[in-house]
Copies of this chain bind each other. A is one copy, B any other.
Amino acid sequence: MIIVDAVAPRTRIQIEKRELILEAALDVFSRFGFRGATIDRIAETAGMSKPNLLYYFRRKDDIYSALMHRLLDTWLQPLRELDDIGDPMTELRGYIRRKLEMSRDYPRESRLFANEILEGAPRIMPLIAGELKTLVDEKVLVIRGWMKAGKIARTDPHHLIFSIWATTQHYADFDVQVRAVLGPDKGAAGRYEDAARFLEQLFMDGLRPKD
């Protein structure tokens, strides 16, 4: 992956401050979307003045791009770890678990990504059609191999991946709705445990080889 930074960080302060800004930007962008987020608000969250922030990132878009590039990298990590060598059912169960843990531990990242896609991915379309598609294509071949070998049930690998994405990310992206529907009794921990149990059962039942 190629990262183009408007200002290549050179000094200690630049490295620290850029990190501080990206952390603040993640907070603000994921809450308000690209248009709803203001430079002033990001600067305030990062504890600096607007002109100061603009010294590190010349444009609002630059902050957003830097954030999206970094985000997508960690975002695809669970899928990258889906390994051809291991036991298929174990591998897929592990993938679902890791993906759900990402929703639990990085909800801001999930919402930011969802927001971008929802708007038509105007800023990261190349990454989606490039890096992401390549990775999915690769893993689809792995899954298809497992199916041919009779290790898991035959089904559509693409839609299997979509379903795993959809169900796991739902708990981050629609968190407000999930909490409202479940009521106040369930804490976050219990919610995610129940979800993990349910999803594991759902997908394992769907993937167990039939004969």
Contacts and interface: CB of A to CB of B under 8 A. Distances in A.
Contacts of A111: 118
A156 B201 CA distance: 10
Given A166-B167, A167-B167, A180-B125, A159 B198 contact: yes
A95 to B, nearest CB: 15
Given A132-B181, A163-B199, A118 B115 contact: yes
Interface string A48-76: 00000000000000000000000000000
Question: How many copies of this protein are present in the complex?
Answer: 2
A171 B203 CA distance: 19
Interface in A153-179: 153, 155-156, 158-160, 162-163, 165-167, 169-171, 173-174, 176-178
Main secondary structure of the interface of A (DSSP, over half): helix
